[in-house]
Amino acid sequence: MQSELEAVKGQLKELTRRERARQREMTAARRKLREFAQDLEFALALERRRASELEQAYYDMVLRLTRASTYKDNETGGHIQRVSFYARILARSLGWSEVDQELIFRAAPMHDVGKIAIPDTLIRKRGRLGAEDRQVMESHTLIGAQLLEGSNSRLLEMARDIAVTHHEHWDGTGYPRGLAGNQIPIAGRIVMLGDNYDALRSRRSYKQGFSHEKACRIILEGDGRTRPEHFDPELLAIFRTIHPEFNGIFEQFQQTEPLAL
């Protein structure tokens, strides 16, 4: 009897010892797991910070490139800023996410970055360009794309799409490739509308700026040179209702100096 009791006691002791050992192991495993999760979280945060720093560096670099191209083009910082705002309004009206709206806002200023490679004499030339000059001038789209190509940053990818397609027309009459309809990336179609509106409103050495009403009439009804068929019909329908916001932006951002950083 006594020995049986001893045996049970012994077994219980052994079970308790094993249970304690198991709990110790579990605690150690949990601690390891926690440490691992913390390490992972730290690595992720670091990675995220690096990615956003890299994205910011891309943006800064390209903004400087944009500034260089605006000096050359005599384009004002106001124009660059306004095109960003028009693009964001259109993207918002299409139901884009906040992130994508911000992306087009940042990518739009680079639309004419390829002008950096166009000879000054050509950029400053007054009057109608001959066929050869026009071809060189139109190549700013392809040069812009080459400058922005080869990165997997979403910002630069969108900027490249915009650079190469912001003179394409919905009806296929644009350049450089004569793309039509949905062949033209939506970001390019968006910037094309904003860029056109702003060009109509802006004063140039050879013309006065048009009023908001006149710019709208030209875009929505055409004037022989600009035609409604040039624009994405969905964007045109949006423009028809939100155009007062375009006017607000035009009046608000009147910086006449080249783009400031």
Residues near Fe ion (CB under 5 A): 112, 195
Our CB check for Fe ion shows the closer of 193 and 216 to be 193
- Cβ distance to Fe ion smaller for residue 168 or 195: 195
Min CB(110)–Fe ion separation in Å: 10
Query: Which residue matches tokens 């802006």?
Result: 202
Q: Least distance in Å: CB of 138 to Fe ion?
A: 9
Residue 172 backbone zone (phi > 0: left; psi -120 to 50: alpha; other: beta): left
Which of residues 74 and 252 has its CB atom nearest to Fe ion in the complex?
74
| 185, amino acid identity | P
DSSP 8-state secondary structure symbol assigned to residue 40? H
Please state, in angstroms and rounded to a whole number, the distance separating the CA atoms of residues 200 and 207: 10
Comparing CB distances to Fe ion, the nearer of 38 and 173 is 173
Select from 96, 8, 108, 76 the least CA-distant residue to 250. 76
CB 80 within 8 A of CB 132: no
**Distance linking the first and last C-alpha atoms of the chain:** 93
Q: Based on CB atoms, which residue is closest to Fe ion, 108 or 216?
A: 108
Provide the minimum distance between the beta carbon of 247 and Fe ion in the complex, in angstroms, as a whole number. 18
Tell me whether residue 255 is exposed, middle or buried, using C-beta atoms within 10 angstroms of its C-beta: 0 to 12, 13 to 18, 19 or more: middle
Instruction: Count how many Cα atoms sit within 13 Å of the Cα of residue 27 in the half-sphere of its side chain.
Output: 6
Residue 98 CB burial class (10 angstroms; 0-12, 13-18, ≥19): exposed
Residues marked as catalytic: 115
Contact 202, 188 (CB under 8 A): no
Picking from 67, 103, 78, the residue whose alpha carbon sits closest to that of residue 185 is: 103
